[in-house]
Amino acid sequence: MISLPWRQGAPLILVVDDERTIREMLRQEMEREGYRTLTATNGAEALELCQKNLPDMVLLDAVMPTLDGFRCCAEIRRWPGCEDLPVLMITSLDDEESVTEAFSVGATDYIIKPSKQIHWGVLRQRVRRLLQAYAAMRELHQRSAQERKLTQITAQVRRSLDLATILRTTVGEVQELLQVEQVAICEFPPLGEPRFTVESPSLGWPSILHAPLRVRVPQDHSGERHTLDWLVQVRDGDEVTGDSWYGELIQRLGMQAFLAVPVVLGERLWGLLTAHQYSTPRAWSPHEVNMLQQLTMQLASAIQQAQLYQQLEAANGELQRLAAFDGLTQVPNRRRFDEYLVQEWQRLAQEQGALSLILADIDFFKSYNDTYGHVAGDECLRRVAQTIHQVVSYTKGLVARYGGEEFGVILPETPLAPAMTVAEQIRLRVAQLRIPHQHSPVHGYVTLSLGVSSLLPNSEAAPAALVAAADQALYQAKQQGRNCVVPY
């Protein structure tokens, strides 16, 4: 019996003949050969059966009522997917014109039954040969389509730099490529147990997401050793025991067929790409396994590329953070202050919201440094900065080191009165630190002078107006004796 790789079960042959005796003889002979059969008495009935159950071959009489074999064959050939379907005409017509017409309408082969008798040996050989050729051609077409699909999947996988997107794309596309019920990826972290982290749509089958893989993963094998140890093909789940890691998984989830291909990064086993069939057993062809092995090599490269990109993004993010922060006080620096001020000014100019600014200066800080030294001065700056940050953390504001001992607080969507309240809280909290400042003319502890301004941003003004107003208010605070808050 011929095995057709793209179908389940024995080939299906449609026998079409209006003579009951011949029809039954053909059916019985085909079934003795191990084929499945359907029968029809005329061309019209044959077309109806073809539409409902696409056969792998048609044995067709030429002379029939209602719709003869010639017109029936021509109609079959017009259907999508039936261009190469084997149609073997078996007829008593032995004239050259009939033979020519048979081939002209698309018959694959032609057998004459002299005196209503059939040469069974010849028929069996013809059927076997045509099915073999059809199977080979269909497999070639299938492989060609799969190769094109594999090229598309590889391009999609390599195109992305986001690991989650890469993995989701892989399982979805492989499910379509293999026409399988479920595809998943199991990751093997350096620490912890392996787990399935991505799966294709389950289509009603059990989800394997986050299911543990109860196996110890050796880390000292070569890439080739990993491939040998972890390449698994199970065509019938009933034939495996729970002794192996995959047998336990198959039994736990009720799988009928299972395929696992390792994903190896360098010498490390990164994970597995797996395909599962729940409804029926399934044989995995060498071509399918080879395709997935090719794909996992490309997937490994894409994973490495995504990981490097993530590391680069993290490094760039850290560099940007460091570039925007003051190293001593660990609050944003003047550069970040300027960027944020422009950003919020432009936003609130459109939304017509208030923007407030607080400029705070440590009173007599030069005297503090001269008295206690620069190390103590640095510690003082740090404590003051963190205290201001704690107060402002309850708002949408940004705290930045504006100058040597001067700090700026930007308060978006905040009118003057609430901004004054924040400034007063800052002044009181810094005073409560009770940082000694024995040579301060204002107080025995470190204090702040603060100036507050508030504007409604618009396209006709610039953020510098807000800064100039706050700076003027700070100047007034110093003129009024320091350790106070003054609005503009």
Per DSSP, the residues of 420-468 read HHHHHHHHHHHHHT--B-TT-SS-SB--EEEEEEEE---TTS-HHHHHH
The pLDDT of 30-38, averaged and rounded, is: 93
- Structure confidence at residue 6 (pLDDT): 43
The pLDDT of residue 380 is above 50: yes
Would you call 405 a catalytic residue per the annotation? yes
Pair (218, 113) in one structural domain? no
The pLDDT of 453-471, averaged and rounded, is: 93
H or E, element range at 410: strand 406-412
Asked whether residue 317 is domain-assigned, the answer is no
Pair (297, 342) in one structural domain? no
Q: What share of the chain is helix, strand, coil (3-state, %, to 5)?
A: 50, 20, 35
The pLDDT of 384-413, averaged and rounded, is: 95
Pair (186, 223) in one structural domain? yes
Structure-token match 């794909």, residue found: 295
What percentage of the chain exceeds 90 in pLDDT?
54
Q: What is the CATH number for 196?
A: 3.30.450.40
Structure-token match 């390599």, residue found: 158
Structure-token match 């490495």, residue found: 304
Q: What is the pLDDT of residues 123-182, one digit of tens each?
A: 899 999 999 888 888 777 777 777 777 777 777 777 778 889 989 999 988 998 888 999
Q: Which residues contact 488 (CB under 8 A, 6 or more apart)?
A: 451, 452, 453, 454, 469, 470, 472, 473
Asked whether residue 147 is domain-assigned, the answer is no
Pair (348, 297) in one structural domain? no
Asked whether residue 140 is domain-assigned, the answer is no
Report d(CA 126, CA 122) in Å as an integer.
6
Pair (291, 345) in one structural domain? no
Token pair of 477 as six digits: 């605070």
Pair (237, 363) in one structural domain? no
Mean per-residue pLDDT of the chain? 88
* Number of domains composing the chain: 3
Pair (440, 369) in one structural domain? yes
Token pair of 487 as six digits: 């609005």
Q: What is the pLDDT of residues 94-134, one digit of tens each?
A: 788 888 999 999 999 988 876 567 788 888 999 999 998 88
The pLDDT of residue 332 is above 90: yes
Asked whether residue 318 is domain-assigned, the answer is no
Band of residue 13 on the pLDDT scale cut at 50, 70, 90: very high
Is residue 299 classed exposed, middle or buried when 0-12, 13-18 and 19+ CB atoms within 10 A define those classes?
A: buried
Asked whether residue 57 is domain-assigned, the answer is yes
Asked whether residue 325 is domain-assigned, the answer is no
Band of residue 469 on the pLDDT scale cut at 50, 70, 90: very high
The pLDDT of 184-189, averaged and rounded, is: 91
Report d(CA 28, CA 36) in Å as an integer.
10
Q: What is the pLDDT of residues 347-372, one digit of tens each?
A: 999 999 999 999 999 999 999 999 99
- Structure confidence at residue 1 (pLDDT): 47
H or E, element range at 195: strand 195-199
Q: What is the CATH number for 354?
A: 3.30.70.270
The pLDDT of 246-252, averaged and rounded, is: 91
Is residue 127 classed exposed, middle or buried when 0-12, 13-18 and 19+ CB atoms within 10 A define those classes?
A: buried
Across 7-16, 192-201, 260-269, 428-437, least confident range: 7-16
Q: What is the pLDDT of residues 293-308, one digit of tens each?
A: 988 988 888 888 888 8
- Structure confidence at residue 115 (pLDDT): 56
- Structure confidence at residue 475 (pLDDT): 96
- Structure confidence at residue 114 (pLDDT): 64
Pair (478, 340) in one structural domain? yes
Pair (104, 173) in one structural domain? no
Q: What is the CATH number for 56?
A: 3.40.50.2300
Q: Give me the domain span that covers residue 176.
A: 160-309
- Structure confidence at residue 328 (pLDDT): 93
Token pair of 254 as six digits: 């009720």
What percentage of the chain exceeds 70 in pLDDT?
95
CB atoms within 10 A of CB 228: 10
Structure-token match 């100047």, residue found: 475
Q: What is the pLDDT of residues 193-237, one digit of tens each?
A: 889 999 998 778 889 988 888 777 665 555 556 666 789 999 998
Token pair of 83 as six digits: 């261009």
Pair (177, 71) in one structural domain? no
Token pair of 444 as six digits: 């025995």
Report d(CA 217, CA 129) in Å as an integer.
49
Across 62-71, 141-150, 317-326, 398-407, least confident range: 141-150
Pair (108, 165) in one structural domain? no
Q: Which residues contact 288 (CB under 8 A, 6 or more apart)?
A: 146, 178, 259
CA angle 316, 320, 324 (to 5 degrees): 170
The pLDDT of 64-77, averaged and rounded, is: 89
Asked whether residue 226 is domain-assigned, the answer is yes
What DSSP character marks residue 239? G
For residues 391 and 427, is the Cβ–Cβ distance under 8 A? no
For the question of whether the overall pTM of this predicted structure is more than 0.75, the answer is no
* DSSP reduced 3-state for 262: strand
Tell me the C-alpha to C-alpha distance, in Å, between residue 3 and each of 6, 7, 15, 101, 388: 9, 8, 19, 31, 79
The pLDDT of residue 431 is above 90: yes
Asked whether residue 1 is domain-assigned, the answer is no
Pair (266, 190) in one structural domain? yes
The pLDDT of 441-457, averaged and rounded, is: 95
Q: Which of 33, 181, 288, 405 is catalytic?
A: 405
Rg, the chain, Cα only: 40
